[in-house]
Structure 1
Amino acid sequence: MIVNLTSTTHAVATPVVPSHGALRPLGLDEVRITGGVWAGRQAVNGRATLAHIEYWMEHEGWIGNFDAAAAGTVAEHRGGREFSDSEVYKLLEAMAWEVGRSGDADVEARLTSLVARIAAAQEPDGYLNTQFGRPGQRARYSDLEWGHELYCFGHMFQAAVARLRTRPAATDGLVDIARRAADHVCATFGADGLQRVCGHPEIEPALAELGRATGEQRYVDQAALFVARRGTGTLADIELGRSYYQDDVPVREATVLDGHAVRANYLAAGAVDVAIETDDADLLAALTTQWENTVAHRTYITGGQGAHHSGESFGDDWELPPDRAYSETCASVGSVMFSWRLLLAQALPRYADLIERTLYNVVATSPAHEGTAFFYTNTLHQRRPGTVPATDVAVPRATSSLRAPWFAVSCCPPNVARTLASLAAYVATVDDTGLQVHQYAPAQIRTHLPDGRALDVDVETDYPHDGRIRVVVRTSHEEPWTLSLRVPGWAAGATLTTPDDDSPVTVDPGTARVTRKFTAGDVVELQLPVGPRVVVPDPRIDAVRGCVAVERGPEVLCLESVDLAGAGVMRDADVGHVRLTSLDSVREVDGHVVAQFEVDVPASADWPYEAAGPDGDRRMTALVEAPLIAYHDWANRGPSTMRVWLPST
C-alpha cells in the first residue's frame, strides 16, 4: 500500500519526508521520547555535547573561517581541513533538531548567532565555501575529487531542512542561505552545466530533501542528475581507485556497497530519495539488492561497516577482522539514513532491525557517558590498553583506545549529535491502516491517521534492560485501526497480549499486528526475550572462526579487561589470554550477564608454535567468572583491552 504524503496538513519535523511511500514518518512534534536509555542520551546531547562541539569548532577556528571569509582574510587565516565548513553545518542541524525537541532558548540563541556569521560569508551568486574561490585560494570546483564543496553544501541543506521543519517561521535566514546556494548548484551543475559530481556524496540526499521541504522540484531533479552521473568516470582515477568515491560503477548497476563506507551509504540514501521521487522501480530494486548483500556479507555484528583503515572502506565479502575494524561512526549514521529510507518505502521490519542494531552498538558507542568525548572508529577487539588522550588538543582520529574530546577530523561528533537530537523521528510511522512502532523506548505518540482521526498512544517500557513493551491507547474510535509492533529478528519466542485475549500468544519475528476498535485504556503488550544469546559467525568470516559472541536483546556484549582484573585474574589482565569454557556458562545473574573463562599462561619458549598434544595445547592456569558488558559501555572506566568475539574451547 502506498501512502500519499503530500496531503499532510503540517510540516513534519523529521529528516526525511518522501512525497509517497509505504509509510509516513512521524516528527518530533508527534513523538517524544520520555525516558529510558535514549531520553538520557538526548538529555546529555542537548546539555553537554552541543556546547562541547561548538567550543571546539571555535577553538580550532572552523567557525571563525566564516568571519575571515566575510572580512576577506580567510586565505591567510583559515583553520581546519577542506571540509570543516560541513562540520559547522552539522552542528547547526543538531541545534535545529534540539530546538525542535526541547525548545531550548539558549540553543536557539546560539543557532541564530551562528547563522548570522555564516550568512555574512555568502557570495552574491549563492556560492559559500571558506576553502575555495577567494583571492589567494584555489578556484571554485577546481578539485571535485577532494575539495568537498558540494559535500559541504549538502550538510548546509540538511541543516536548513531541520530548521524549516522545526521552526518554519524562523527569521534567522538559514533557509534563505540554503536556497540561494542550491540555486547556484543547479545553475552550475544542471543539465547544461558542469557534468561532474563531488568526490564525497552527500549533496544527493540533501538536495532531494531540500526540494521536498521547499517544494522546489529542480532541487530533486538536480539530485537525480548527480545520482545518474555517479559511476560514469567524471572524477579522476586515484591510487585507491574510483570505487573509493563510488565513481566506478553506475548506481543502478552496483550489487553491493563498496569503497569509502560513509560515502557509499550517503550516496545510497540519496539514490533511494531519487528512486522514490522519480518512481524508478529499477533503481529502488538495485538499492535493495545493495543493502541486502552489504548486510549479509560486509557488516559487523555491531552493525558497523568498513573493514579497512586504508580508504576507510568496505573490505571484500566476509572480510570482517575484529581487531582491525574501522567501523567509522559516520558510516553507521549513513547506514541508518539508508535503512530508514528503505523502511519508509517498503515497510519491511528488517530495515528497522538494522537501525536498532546500529544505534545501540555503534552510534551509542561513540560518545562517552558524559557526552564530551568520542570514538571515531569502533574496533571490536582492542589489544592494547592505550593512553588517556589529551583534553586540550585535537588528536589523530584512530589511534586512541579511549574516546577523545576532539579530532583533527571531527566529522563523527556532530554526526552523532544530529542523530541523537532527531532520534524520536525514527520511532514510529503511520499508513492508511494505522500506526507502526519500529523502535522501543518510553514515548508519547500524538498523531493522526490519514483520514484525520487523532491517534494518541503511550509506550511504557524499560527496554532493552527488560523485554516488556506496553502500548497504551489513549483515544477511542468507532472504526478499527491496526497497531503494528516490530518483532526483532533475534526475538524467537516473543509473545503478544491483546485486549481480546489475556493469554500471551507467541509471535514470530517480523511484525505483530493487532486490528480492532480500540478504546481509550486498551493495552497491547509485547514481551521480547532479552536474555543472553550466544551467536556463532558464518564460517566464511575466517577472522573470527572458532569464536562466539554474546548478545542480550539488541545489545552486543563484550569482555573488558577491567572486569578480568576485578575477578582477580592477573594484575595486567588481557582479554587475549582467555577462552570461553562452554556456551552453557553464559548466563544472566541479577540482571548482569556473566560467563566462565579459562585463562592461559603465555608461551615461555622463544618460538610461538609447538606440537599439539592429544587434547590440544591448553596451558590453563585458572578458571574465572567475569561479567560481559554492553559494547557501547566499554572504555568508560579507563584504559583497557576488550573483545567482542570470544574464543571458545
Structure 2
Amino acid sequence: MPERRPISPVVPSPDALGGLRPLGLGEVTITGGLLAERQRASARNGIPAGRRELETSGVLDNFRRAAGAQGLVPRGPRFADSDAYKWLEAAAWESRRSGHPVGDQSRIGSLVAAAQHADGYLDTMTDDAYADLTWSHEHYVAGHLIQAAIAQHRAGGADELLPVAVRLADHLGERFGPGRDERLDGHPEVETALVELYRETGRRRYLDLARWMVDSRGSGRITFHEFESSYFCDRVPVRDQESIEGHAVRAVYLAAGATDVAVETGDTVLLDVLRSQFTAMWASRTYLTGGIGARWEQEAFGDAFELPSDRAYAETCAAIGLVQWAWRLFLATGEASYGDAIERVLYNAVLSGVSASGDRYLYVNPLELRSGALAHDGRSPANGRRAWFDCACCPPNVMRLLASAAAYLAAADESGLWLVGYASSTVDTGWGHVRIDTDHPHGGGVRAVVTGGGVDEWTLRLRVPGWASGVEVEAPGRRVSVADGWALVEGAWHEGDAVDLSWSVAPRLIAADSRLDAARAAVAVEVGPLVQAFEEIDNPGLEECFVLPGARPRLDGTHPDGSARVRLDGVRRPASGAEWPYREIAAAGDPGARPVGEAVGLTSVPYHAWGERAVGPMRVWLPVDQVFSG
C-alpha cells in the first residue's frame, strides 16, 4: 500500500507498536448524517462565537499584555491561554476539513509568537515562571500550544506556531528532567503533545521528556491544600495502578500520553498496564453514556460503581479525553472494543455537551436533573446550555474534536482498510476509494461501496458493534468471516463492489450491575448506540412516573432529527404528600396486586439531545414500579 502521512491529531511513527495507521482529514471526508450536521453547526456558529469569546473574556488581551501592550492586567483562570490554543487547533482542522480558511489564525498566531520570551518560555498568566507548578497549569498550557502548532502544520494552512512550539518544548527540556527541575505540573496533558511533537519532528528528546514525566508520576509529591495526591494523578505510579483515579480529565489525559509513550518506546509492559486500567475503568467507573467522573468534588472518579445519576460530573472534557485515549489503544491493538467505547462516548457523553446549533454547551453531563434543581454553580446543567463558561475548557475542546472527527473513523495496515466508526463519508486510501452509505447512528447498518481502483487484493474490516443483534453481512463473491468484533471481507475488489453490514434497530432495555446503587431497580433504554433520556417536556410529572414490570420499549415513529421515538409503558403515581416519606407496600406477588396510579406511555429523546427545548427534569434511569395495591 502506498504510504501517506495522515492529516490527523494522532500519527504514530512507522516503528510504533500496533502497525495501524490512522486515516486523517483528506483521506476520510464526512459527507452526511449526525456528525456532519454537528461539524457544520460548529463551523457556522461555534468556532466564530469562540473567536469572539477569546476577545471579550480577555484571553487575547493577555497575549497583548505579554507582548508589551501597556495598561492591561491578566484576566481569566491561570490556564486561560489554553482556550486560545484549543481554538487555534479547531480552526486549523476546520480549515482543512471544509477547504475554507477560518479567519484570524495568522493574526492570533503572530500575537502568540510576540508574547514568547527570548528563552522560549510562554505563559501570559504569570510573571514568575514555574513558581507554582502544582496549580499553574504551565505545562498543560504548553501542551495545548504544541497540539495547535502541529494541527496548523499538518493541515497545511497558517503555520506561525510550529517554531514557537519547538522553542517552548526545547525550553521545557532544558529546564525539566532528571538532575534538573524534577517537579511535575499539577495537570497532565503535555505528555501526549510532546510525543506528537517527536512524531512530527523526529527529535527524540521530546519523547524522552514525555517518558520521564510519565514515569515520575506517583511519588505523592503533589498536593494542594485539601486536595490529595490522587487529584493530580500522583498517588500511585502509572505502572502500578489497577484503575485510573482522581481528577477525571487529568487522569485520561495522562493515560493517553502514557499510551503514546508506550507505543513509541516499544514498552509492551506499560501498554498492557494501560489496557488493564481501561478495562477496570470501563467495568466499574463509567456511566451508561460513556461519561466519566462521578464526583463534583474534585471533578473526580469515585469508587467502583459509585455512579450517582443526579450528581454525575461527567465533564465534557473528560469524555473528549476518553475518546483520545481509546483511539490510541485501538491503534495499538486493533481491538474492536475500543471502537465500541469511542462510539458510546462520542454519541452520548460528547455530543450531549454541545447543542445542535453548535454554540451552546454543557460542562457537566448528569443522567438526571431533578425538578427545582438549584443552579448552584455556573457549570450546573440546571442553568441550561450556556454560550461560555468562566472556566472555558469545554467549548473549544468540543470544537477541536468535531473539526477533526473524521480522523477517528478509519485506519489502514498492510492488509487493508479498517472501518472503526460509521458516518456517511468517502474514504480515499492506498487500497482504493470507498464510499460509506449509512444513516448511523439512527439506522440499522452500513454499506461500503468501492468507487475507485487501488490494489486489487485486500481485506475490508468493518466493526460489528458490541451492542448489535441480528447482525448480517452481505458481500457477494467474497470470503466473509465474523470474529472478535470484526466482519472481515476478503477478495479482489473492483469499482462498484459493495458490502452490507446490518443489525436490528429494535430498542433495548438496559439494567445496571446490582452493585450500582443509583440504578438499582431501574431501567434505561438504548437504540443503536444512542442512550435515551426521558424529559419532563414529553412526560409531565416525570418524577412521579414508573416503568411497569415486564414492559418492553417499542418504536413509535421518529423525531424531526431522524432519531427513533421510543415509548415505554408505565404509571404515574402522584407523591403522597405525607410528612414521613416511607410506607409499607403490598408485594408484587400478592393475590390481586395491581399497579397504583394512572397508566402512561413514556417517551424518550436521544440523551445527546436533552435540554434542547427546555430546561427541566430529565432521567436516563427510570425506576421500575414496585408499589401495588392488594
Structure 2 length as normaliser, TM-score?
0.94
- Please give the residue correspondences for 1:518-533 in structure 2 after superposition, counting only pairs within 5 Å: 518-533=493-508
Q: Which runs of 5+ in 1 are unaligned?
A: 1-6, 134-138, 390-394, 450-454, 566-572
Contact 1:495 1:507 (8 Å CA) reproduced: no
Contact 1:14 1:26 (8 Å CA) reproduced: yes
**Identical counterparts, % of pairs:** 43
Q: Deviation per CA, 1:322-372, whole angstroms, max 9, x where unpaired?
A: 111000000001101110000000000000100000000011111111111
SS at match of 2:37: helix
Q: Deviation per CA, 1:130-153, whole angstroms, max 9, x where unpaired?
A: 1122xxxxx211111110000000
Residue identity opposite 1:148 in structure 2: H
Q: Which residue number in structure 1 is paired with residue 104 of structure 2?
A: 110
Q: What is the rounded CA distance, in whole Å, between the counterparts of 1:196 and 1:496 in structure 2?
A: 54
Segment drifting more, 286-295 vs 207-216: 207-216
Change in CA separation of 1:258 and 1:309 when aligned onto 2, cut-off 3 Å:
same
Q: Does 1:164 align with 2:141?
A: no
Change in CA separation of 1:614 and 1:277 when aligned onto 2, cut-off 3 Å:
closer
Shift of 1:235: 2.2
Change in CA separation of 1:113 and 1:477 when aligned onto 2, cut-off 3 Å:
closer
Q: Deviation per CA, 1:478-522, whole angstroms, max 9, x where unpaired?
A: 7421000001111132110002279xx995671000010111100
Q: Does 1:490 align with 2:467?
A: yes
Q: Deviation per CA, 1:517-545, whole angstroms, max 9, x where unpaired?
A: 11110000000222200011000101110
Shift of 1:401: 4.4
- Please give the residue correspondences for 1:543-558 in structure 2 after superposition, counting only pairs within 5 Å: 543-558=518-533
SS at match of 1:63: helix
Change in CA separation of 1:511 and 1:527 when aligned onto 2, cut-off 3 Å:
same
Q: Does 1:332 align with 2:322?
A: no
Q: Which residue number in structure 2 is paired with residue 589 of structure 1?
A: 556
Q: Which residue number in structure 1 is paired with residue 572 of structure 2?
A: 599
Q: Which residue number in structure 2 is paired with residue 645 of structure 1?
A: 621
Q: Does 1:294 align with 2:261?
A: no
Shift of 1:408: 0.7
Q: Deviation per CA, 1:289-314, whole angstroms, max 9, x where unpaired?
A: 10000000100000000000000000
Determine which of 22, 39, 49 is the counterpart of 2:36.
Answer: 39
Segment drifting more, 373-382 vs 216-225: 216-225
Shift of 1:405: 1.1
Change in CA separation of 1:68 and 1:14 when aligned onto 2, cut-off 3 Å:
same
Q: What is the rounded CA distance, in whole Å, between the counterparts of 1:63 and 1:476 in structure 2?
A: 48
Contact 1:493 1:508 (8 Å CA) reproduced: no
SS at match of 2:504: coil
Q: Deviation per CA, 1:31-72, whole angstroms, max 9, x where unpaired?
A: 000000001110011111001111112111012110111125
SS at match of 1:463: coil
Q: Which residue number in structure 1 is paired with residue 97 of structure 2?
A: 101
Shift of 1:388: 9.9
Q: Which residue number in structure 2 is paired with residue 351 of structure 1?
A: 338
Determine which of 56, 60, 69 is the counterpart of 2:57.
Answer: 60
Q: Which residue number in structure 2 is paired with residue 273 of structure 1?
A: 260
Shift of 1:620: 2.9
Contact 2:105 2:158 (8 Å CA) reproduced: no
Determine which of 12, 19, 22 is the counterpart of 2:19.
Answer: 22
Determine which of 199, 215, 219 is the counterpart of 2:186.
Answer: 199
Change in CA separation of 1:397 and 1:388 when aligned onto 2, cut-off 3 Å:
closer
Shift of 1:626: 2.8
Q: Deviation per CA, 1:226-255, whole angstroms, max 9, x where unpaired?
A: 111111234246422100011111111111
Contact 2:153 2:159 (8 Å CA) reproduced: no
Change in CA separation of 1:476 and 1:512 when aligned onto 2, cut-off 3 Å:
same
Change in CA separation of 1:580 and 1:229 when aligned onto 2, cut-off 3 Å:
same
Q: Which residue number in structure 2 is paired with residue 568 of structure 1?
A: none
Q: Which residue number in structure 2 is paired with residue 122 of structure 1?
A: 116
Q: Which residue number in structure 2 is paired with residue 3 of structure 1?
A: none
Shift of 1:173: 1.5
- Please give the residue correspondences for 1:347-426 in structure 2 after superposition, counting only pairs within 5 Å: 347-384=334-371, 396-398=378-380, 400-426=382-408
Residue identity opposite 1:631 in structure 2: Y
SS at match of 2:8: coil
Change in CA separation of 1:443 and 1:478 when aligned onto 2, cut-off 3 Å:
closer
Residue identity opposite 1:516 in structure 2: G
Shift of 1:171: 5.7
Contact 1:490 1:509 (8 Å CA) reproduced: no
Contact 1:385 1:401 (8 Å CA) reproduced: no
SS at match of 2:599: strand
Segment drifting more, 505-514 vs 88-97: 505-514
Q: What is the rounded CA distance, in whole Å, between the counterparts of 1:63 and 1:549 in structure 2?
A: 45
Segment drifting more, 217-226 vs 32-41: 217-226
Q: What is the rounded CA distance, in whole Å, between the counterparts of 2:525 and 2:459 in structure 1?
A: 35
Contact 2:134 2:224 (8 Å CA) reproduced: no
Q: Deviation per CA, 1:178-220, whole angstroms, max 9, x where unpaired?
A: 1111111111113332112110000000110011012221111
Q: Which residue number in structure 1 is paired with residue 561 of structure 2?
A: none
Q: Deviation per CA, 1:435-477, whole angstroms, max 9, x where unpaired?
A: 000111100001114xxxxx11000011122112110012346
Change in CA separation of 1:171 and 1:349 when aligned onto 2, cut-off 3 Å:
closer
Q: What is the rounded CA distance, in whole Å, between the counterparts of 1:49 and 1:218 in structure 2?
A: 37
Q: Which residue number in structure 1 is paired with residue 428 of structure 2?
A: 446
Q: Which residue number in structure 1 is paired with residue 449 of structure 2?
A: 472
Contact 1:494 1:508 (8 Å CA) reproduced: no
Shift of 1:640: 1.4
Change in CA separation of 1:341 and 1:579 when aligned onto 2, cut-off 3 Å:
same
Q: What is the rounded CA distance, in whole Å, between the counterparts of 2:455 and 2:129 in structure 1?
A: 61
Contact 1:497 1:525 (8 Å CA) reproduced: yes
Q: What is the rounded CA distance, in whole Å, between the counterparts of 1:552 and 1:285 in structure 2?
A: 33
Q: What is the rounded CA distance, in whole Å, between the counterparts of 2:351 and 2:549 in structure 1?
A: 30
Structure 1 length as normaliser, TM-score?
0.91
SS at match of 1:563: coil
Residue identity opposite 2:574 in structure 1: V
Residue identity opposite 2:12 in structure 1: P
Residue identity opposite 1:597 in structure 2: G
Contact 2:551 2:569 (8 Å CA) reproduced: no
Change in CA separation of 1:499 and 1:296 when aligned onto 2, cut-off 3 Å:
same
Q: Which residue number in structure 1 is paired with residue 168 of structure 2?
A: 181
Determine which of 239, 258, 272 is the counterpart of 1:252.
Answer: 239
- Please give the residue correspondences for 1:60-99 in structure 2 after superposition, counting only pairs within 5 Å: 60-71=57-68, 73=70, 77-99=73-95
Residue identity opposite 2:461 in structure 1: S
What's the Cα RMSD here? 2.0
Q: What is the rounded CA distance, in whole Å, between the counterparts of 2:251 and 2:155 in structure 1?
A: 28
Q: What is the rounded CA distance, in whole Å, between the counterparts of 1:460 and 1:178 in structure 2?
A: 40
Q: What is the rounded CA distance, in whole Å, between the counterparts of 2:349 and 2:182 in structure 1?
A: 36
Contact 1:388 1:402 (8 Å CA) reproduced: no
Q: Deviation per CA, 1:575-631, whole angstroms, max 9, x where unpaired?
A: 221111144341012342111120011113211112223449988331111321100
Change in CA separation of 1:132 and 1:54 when aligned onto 2, cut-off 3 Å:
same
Shift of 1:24: 0.6
Contact 2:2 2:430 (8 Å CA) reproduced: no
Q: What is the rounded CA distance, in whole Å, between the counterparts of 2:571 and 2:132 in structure 1?
A: 55
Determine which of 571, 584, 592 is the counterpart of 1:611.
Answer: 584
Q: What is the rounded CA distance, in whole Å, between the counterparts of 1:420 and 1:468 in structure 2?
A: 23
Q: Which residue number in structure 2 is paired with residue 635 of structure 1?
A: 611
Shift of 1:95: 0.5
Shift of 1:386: 5.7
